Amino acid sequence: MRHNVKNILCGGAVAALLAWTVYTILKEQTPGQLAQALLSADWRALLLGLPLMALFLCCEAGATWSILRSLGCPQPFRRCAYYSCTGFFFSTITPSATGGQPAQILAMGRDGVPAASGALDMLLVTIGYNTAAMGWGIFALFAAGPFTDRLGGQVGLLLGVGLAVFALLDAAMLMFLFLPGPAKRLLYACIALVVKVRPSLDRAGLEAKADAHLAEYRRGAQLIRKSPDLLVRVLGLSALQLACSYVMPYVVYRAFGLSGFSVGEVFALQALCSIAVGYLPLPGSAGAAENVFLRGFLLVFGDALVAPAMILSRTLSCYLVLAVTAVILAAGRVARRRAGVPASARPPKTPAKRPAPASGGCADQT
């Protein structure tokens, strides 16, 4: 019952935000003017977005390929690319991207990857992704300093909260990874506080779950000590992955034949907008991402083009990729059925629980 209420509230919030977005767009221009602006874009320039988003998916696939090899359960790169598509699709359609990682672990399990190894892969990918997002965010604060004053109070507040959430999550994951003793004491102290507030909770059960998560982090630390360059490779691939997403508005900017703002400025603005909505518990940051784009990029595209630019940017970085990954997953499902994969080869329905990523789907694009 509680799960259904959560889904209804989430769906209602997304619907309200999308309705507000449509209202904001149509308040400023008619559907005819909007269509005319969209058709005025240079579609040859927009085609550059396709290889960029393919590279976005391949970067995570490369990180998974490296991690699974280090764990002794290597998979072909094409299968790692399939896992990446799985993660993108389910992260985009579930709140806070909570469905992506369990779906990826299940997909790995069908190929014989132990659930513990799949969970460790997701852990290291998440650490790399969040660390890269924080790094780009810090860069963006310096590179797009003048823009921050023009984002407005609401977006500025979201940005501040987003940076704080990303920083806390990243610091917590790194502490759990490299400082297990203090991490355990901190977790146990938090559990004691929560149980004091809600005495009905099972303290022993919560501590057992905390120990299981800490054991996963210990395995990650052991793997990094064994392959010290692994985390560097994962972080580098995550930084490139996010760069493919953050540069998308500049592709649209050039497609409209605009000039005056550098690729670094537009890139940095996108990084800030993505962080502002990345932690929101909405599927693919839907609704919030569009509204933040309309406000944040108004100075760059102007009144007449900011809405068409938002539509093209979100289509290239989110909706088109969502459709492509859906087709890939459907094709994979059909192929498994035709191959007659036995039920015994499938992993348990409930994968190992692990922290959900802070970033939303849709390439974290706003």
3 has pLDDT over 60: no
CA dihedral sign, ordered 9, 323, 284, 308 = negative
Look at residue 199 and tell me whether its pLDDT is greater than 50.
yes
Instruction: Compute the average pLDDT of residues 243-254.
Output: 94
The phi, psi pair for 278, rounded to 5°, reads -65, -30
Q: Which residue has the higher pLDDT, 342 or 279?
A: 279
pLDDT (tens digit per residue) in 257-270: 998 888 988 999 89
Which residue has better confidence, 218 or 2? 218
Q: Is the dihedral of CA 28, 33, 35, 40 positive or negative?
A: negative
Say what percent of the chain tops pLDDT 70: 78
**252-266 per-residue burial string, b: 16 or more CB within 10 A, e: under 16:** bbbbbebeebeeebb
**What is each CA distance from 113 to 38, 139, 332, in whole angstroms?**
45, 37, 17
pLDDT band, very low/low/confident/very high, at 352 (cuts 50, 70, 90): very low
Contact (Cβ atoms closer than 8 angstroms) between residue 277 and residue 161: no
Number of CB atoms found within 10 A of residue 104's CB = 29
Whether the predicted pLDDT of 42 surpasses 70: yes
Give dist(CA 34, CA 29) in Å, integer: 6
Average pLDDT over residues 20-28: 57
pLDDT of 253 above 90:
yes
> Which residues does 18 contact at the CB level (< 8 Å), separation at least 6?
286, 287, 290
- Segment 27-31 shows an average pLDDT of 64
Name the DSSP letter for residue 364: G
Quick one: pLDDT band at residue 232, thresholds 50, 70, 90? very high
pLDDT of residue 174: 84
Rounded Cα distance, 163 and 276, in Å: 7
Of 326, 317, 327, 324, residue with least CA distance to 361 = 317
Res 366: pLDDT: 47
Alpha-carbon distances, residue 72 vs 32, 65, 136, 218 (angstroms): 57, 11, 32, 17
Q: Which pLDDT band, with edges at 50, 70 and 90, does 8 fall under?
A: low
Predicted confidence (pLDDT) at residue 13 exceeds the cutoff of 60: no
Which tokens in the block code for residue 139? 């860069």
